[in-house]
Amino acid sequence: MIDQRTQKVLERYRVESGKGFRLKDFDAGDTAGLGIEKDHAARLLQQGVDRLAELQDMLYAQDRWSVLCIFQAMDAAGKDGAIKHVFSGVNPQGCQVHSFKAPNAMELDHDFLWRHSTALPERGRIGIHNRSWYEEVLVVRVHPEYLAGQKLPPALVGKSVWDERLEDIAAYERYLARQGTVVLKFFLNVSKAEQKKRFLARIDEPEKNWKFSAGDVTERGHWDAYMAAYQDAIRGTAGKHAPWYVVPADAKWFTRLVVVAAIVQALEGLGLHYPKVTKAQKAALEGARKALG
Ligand code: ATP
Ligand code: MG
């Protein structure tokens, strides 16, 4: 169960209305005054992971709601680690993970939501999207040449193209919410200084070399443009039915605690329960017991 203190912590990072939202009001290094030891953090995380597993079991059994968790961040902010740890306890049958890379030729032949919508979670399941349709107003906005590759009719690509995309994303998320999908969006907010440290660790430590990509350093050069795009994206799409969480990401243990708590809180709010057995079903169960001898 999410206690009051955790609720307060979550409120700090949850954005349900884009009005007046400013990224600079959010500190990447914040840990909500929780200067805790490593093993204590691990125990807290385990509690969250266990609770998430219980809730997921009911979500699956009930087969009504679905949950879409979107993860967005700059490189090395900890998306992969957060996903790995937060969902470590859930039944793999009940969740579906998708990582979205640059779109391929077939995907570019469709509208931008197409490839994401085919990856949405079924009822009863948790969908984890490592990057998402938000890339369409982030990387594509920072690199307009990607937009040029999308084969849109030129008459439809005007100055307001980014606002229009944000409007379409917001409308689509509202639609999903009305269809029974709980939409949760996480922006892992890492600082530029911490990103540099993590890149250097990827260069220095042989077992991390595989994570390093020179292209990530190029993207770092566009930091301010990315931050401006993130701010606009959050402003344009934050809603009660599809909140953003601007999660401090300079301390990995804290990021993971916030993410798991936010998902647990959302699931607890659904009033999940195992399907009720009807009288007829009960009678059938008793009949089956007898038949077993
Ligand atoms: P990640 O960087 O998410 O940890 P990765 O390093 O395994 O994953 P990459 O090959 O870097 O995988 O793929 C992700 C890249 O794809 C990112 O740079 C992202 O900006 C880009 N990308 C995702 N969606 C789009 C899109 N719609 N248009 C252009 N580029 C995109
Ligand atoms: Mg990458």
Residues paired with residue 97 on neighbouring β-strands, in sequence order = 128
The atom of ligand 1 lying closest to the CA of 133 is 27
Give residues with Cβ within 8 angstroms of 223, minimum separation 6.
Answer: 74, 192
For residue 220 the two structure tokens come to 């770092």
Is residue 223 within 8 Å of residue 1, measured between CB atoms?
no
Measured CA to CA, the distance from residue 21 to residue 213 in angstroms comes to 32
Residue 36 confidence (pLDDT): 72
For ligand 1, pick from 135, 145, 146 the residue to mutate: most ligand atoms within 8 Å of CB. 135
Residue 115 confidence (pLDDT): 98
Ligand 2 centroid to Cα of residue 107, in Å, is 19
Give residues with Cβ within 8 angstroms of 129, minimum separation 6.
Answer: 68, 69, 70, 71, 98, 100, 116, 119
Residue 5 confidence (pLDDT): 86
14 C-beta neighbours (distance < 10 Å), count: 19
For ligand 1, pick from 100, 101, 152, 208 the residue to mutate: most ligand atoms within 8 Å of CB. 101
Measured CA to CA, the distance from residue 267 to residue 215 in angstroms comes to 37
Residue 24 confidence (pLDDT): 96
Helix (H, G, I), strand (E, B) or coil at 35: coil
Sequence letter at residue 89:
G
Residue 17 confidence (pLDDT): 97
Q: How many domains does the chain have?
A: 1
Ligand 2 centroid to Cα of residue 265, in Å, is 30
Helix (H, G, I), strand (E, B) or coil at 66: strand
Is residue 200 within 8 Å of residue 212, measured between CB atoms?
no
The atom of ligand 1 lying closest to the CA of 101 is 16
Is residue 66 within 8 Å of residue 181, measured between CB atoms?
yes
Nearest ligand to the C-alpha atom of residue 165: 1
- Tens of pLDDT along the chain (293 residues) come to 788 889 999 999 999 999 999 999 999 999 988 777 777 888 889 999 999 999 999 999 999 999 999 999 999 999 999 999 999 999 999 999 999 999 999 999 999 999 999 999 999 999 999 999 999 999 999 999 999 999 999 999 999 999 999 999 999 999 999 999 999 999 999 999 999 999 999 999 999 999 999 999 999 999 999 999 999 999 999 999 999 999 999 999 999 999 999 999 999 999 999 999 999 999 999 999 999 98
Nearest ligand to the C-alpha atom of residue 140: 1
- 5 Cα distance to chain centroid: 23
Residue owning the nearest CA to atom 11 of ligand 1: 101
**The model's pTM:** 0.96
The atom of ligand 1 lying closest to the CA of 79 is 4
Residue 3 confidence (pLDDT): 86
Nearest ligand to the C-alpha atom of residue 219: 1
The atom of ligand 1 lying closest to the CA of 143 is 29
| Degrees to nearest 5, angle at CA 275 with 274 and 278 | 135
Ligand 1 centroid to Cα of residue 73, in Å, is 11
Give the alpha-carbon dihedral of 76, 82, 83, 84, to 10 degrees: 100
Which residues span the domain enclosing 238?
Answer: 4-291
The closest alpha carbon to 31, from 43, 51, 13, belongs to: 13
The closest alpha carbon to 198, from 80, 43, 86, belongs to: 80
Instruction: Classify residue 64 by its DSSP letter.
Output: S
Measured CA to CA, the distance from residue 87 to residue 93 in angstroms comes to 12
The atom of ligand 1 lying closest to the CA of 138 is 20
For residue 185 the two structure tokens come to 């969006």
Measured CA to CA, the distance from residue 73 to residue 95 in angstroms comes to 21
The closest alpha carbon to 190, from 251, 230, 249, 247, belongs to: 249
For residue 152 the two structure tokens come to 């849109």
Q: Indicate which CATH number applies to the domain containing 250.
A: 3.40.50.300
- Dihedrals φ, ψ of 183, to 5°? -105, 120
Residue 39 confidence (pLDDT): 74
- Ligand 1 site residues, Cβ closer than 6 angstroms: 75, 80, 100-103, 130-131, 135-136, 139-140, 146, 213
Nearest ligand to the C-alpha atom of residue 80: 1
Residue owning the nearest CA to atom 28 of ligand 1: 102
